[in-house]
Amino acid sequence: MDIDLYVTMTARLGEPESAMRTYDHVKARLNVDARLRCGLWATIEQRYVEQRRYEEAVAENDVALAELRFYLARFRAVTAEDESKEPVYRVTLEYAIDSRGGVHFEALIGAGQTATAGTLADELINFRPTAATFAVLVKHARRVNALQEVDRLLAKAQTALSSSDFEAVQRAASAPN
């Protein structure tokens, strides 16, 4: 069964603790960087962030970071041959990095771990300094009303991006939550 579907179904059935029991079982048996453990936690973390349950969302920080590192390593390993066979492969990985990174970034800020969140943001920006990366981070910082972090990200974006790309980030900063 698809992990996202499983977590969604347990929530809709009014039994989200079932997904956590499953995660606890997986956690007891698999390493921090095991794909099943990372994938299951990423889905649970996303649900916690949607509900603004940030302390719970950062409970498995090492697992969330292992998931991001997996995608970063996969992205770095993409060859020209890979892209010719699967033209959307790189774009798919970029999306995964931005979306998972943004969710974890919001969880960290929401849980009051601003220094760790800032380090993660800088790592994502250094990896891929694009308008999309900045916009995702700004959006998530705004959701937790971390206005100092929004200002920091905007200042970084202004120096790193072209004026048209920076305007896209500014639009993200002013969009409603």
Per-residue pLDDT of 60-119, as tens digits, reads 999 999 999 999 999 999 998 988 888 898 899 999 999 999 999 999 999 999 999 999
DSSP letter, residue 18 = H
CA distance 112 to 8: 27
User: What is the mean predicted confidence (pLDDT) over 127-142?
Assistant: 95
Q: 13 falls in which pLDDT band (50, 70, 90)? A: confident
- Note the residue count of the chain: 177
Q: Which domain holds residue 47?
A: 3-174
Q: Which residue has the tokens 């974006």?
A: 157
pLDDT at 121: 97
Domain count, the chain: 1
Q: 23 falls in which pLDDT band (50, 70, 90)? A: confident
- CATH number for the domain including 94? 1.25.40
DSSP letter, residue 32 = T
pLDDT at 83: 86
pLDDT at 100: 95
Given a cut of 70, whether residue 55 has pLDDT beyond it is yes
Buried b (16+ CB within 10 A) or exposed e, 142-177: bbbebeebbebbbebbeebbeeebbebbbebbeeee
Q: Which residue has the higher pLDDT, 35 or 8?
A: 35
Name which of 10-14, 94-98, 118-122, 157-161 the model is least confident about.
Answer: 10-14
- Tell me the three state secondary structure of residue 31: coil
What is the dihedral angle through the alpha carbons of 95, 104, 47, 59, rounded to the nearest 10 degrees? 150
CA distance 153 to 22: 37
Contact residues for 25 (Cβ-Cβ < 8 A; gap 6+):
none
Given a cut of 70, whether residue 7 has pLDDT beyond it is yes
Q: What percent of the chain has pLDDT over 90?
A: 72
